[in-house]
């Protein structure tokens, strides 16, 4: 829809003009709003925001008969700005202020938990590095098997090998990985 078409529809009937804008741009507006609010807003929040966008568009067009810009860009800008405002509002509404004296307050993380989490992340980083050192297809087999819990048959379909070949490579790769981890100072039995 162009600015000229918009003016002609507006001259004919305000209601027809509003309906045409809604019909032509609803999916576009919904996609923009959904993209902004998808992680914090409910479906109702998204629908309310879309309604707010169209109300703002209608109000602007009703008050400005000489609209001459790119209508799609205009609608996109209004959609994004109102969605961002809604995001701020919904995010603030979702945040809870909890008193430290409240009995239901979760325990704060202690330094022990922080250290434990850091050690776990470092261990995971080292293990992944050693798995990559195995080379292909062994690293893919190990990752698919232990990180994604896939069977030899499922892996075989992804890497064009037989299930028996995948099992054999997996067995050899585990032995090599165990040796690489021992060299790195990670030698717990039963780790792999």
What is the domain count for the chain? 2
**Are the beta carbons of 152 and 170 closer than 8 angstroms?**
yes
Same domain, 124 and 51: no
pTM over 0.85: no
Cis peptide upstream of residue 32 (ω within 30 degrees of 0): no
Q: Any idea what the CATH number is for the domain that residue 49 is in?
A: 1.10.1740.10
**Are the beta carbons of 186 and 123 closer than 8 angstroms?**
yes
Same domain, 14 and 88: yes
> Per-residue pLDDT tens for 151-192?
888 888 878 888 898 889 888 888 888 888 888 777 654 444
In this prediction, the residues of the chain whose per-residue pLDDT falls under 70 are 1-3, 65-69, 94-117, 187-192
Tell me, what's the pLDDT at 112?
A: 55
Residue 99 domain-assigned? no
Q: DSSP secondary-structure letter at 187? A: -
Tell me, what's the pLDDT at 157?
A: 81
Same domain, 83 and 12: yes
**CA distances to 11, 129, 178 from 140, in Å:** 65, 13, 16
Task: Kindly report the number of other CB atoms within 10 A of residue 82's CB atom.
Answer: 23
Residue 191 domain-assigned? no
- In the numeric block, the tokens 């701020």 are attached to 88
Tell me, what's the pLDDT at 188?
A: 57
Q: What range does the domain containing 72 cover? A: 3-94
**CA distances to 23, 30, 58 from 55, in Å:** 14, 14, 5
Same domain, 79 and 40: yes
Tell me, what's the pLDDT at 143?
A: 82
């Amino acid at each position: 829809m162009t600015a000229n078409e918009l003016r002609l529809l507006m001259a004919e009937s305000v209601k027809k003009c509003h309906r045409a804008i809604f019909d032509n741009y609803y999916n576009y507006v919904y996609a923009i709003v959904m993209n902004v609010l998808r992680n914090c807003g409910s479906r109702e929040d998204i629908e309310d925001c879309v309604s707010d966008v169209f109300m703002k568009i209608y109000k602007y067009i009703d008050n400005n008969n000489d609209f001459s810009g790119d209508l799609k860009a205009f609608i996109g800008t209004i959609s994004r700005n109102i969605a961002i405002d809604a995001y701020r509002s919904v995010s603030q509404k979702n945040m809870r202020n909890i008193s430290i004296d409240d009995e239901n307050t979760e325990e704060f993380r202690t330094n022990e938990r922080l250290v434990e989490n850091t050690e776990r992340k470092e261990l995971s980083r080292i293990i992944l590095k050693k798995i990559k050192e195995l080379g292909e297809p062994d690293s893919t087999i190990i990752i698919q098997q232990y990180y994604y819990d896939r069977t030899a048959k499922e892996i075989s379909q992804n890497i064009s090998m037989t299930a028996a070949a995948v099992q054999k490579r997996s067995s050899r790769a585990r032995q090599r990985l165990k040796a690489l981890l021992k060299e790195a100072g990670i030698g717990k039995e039963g780790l792999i």
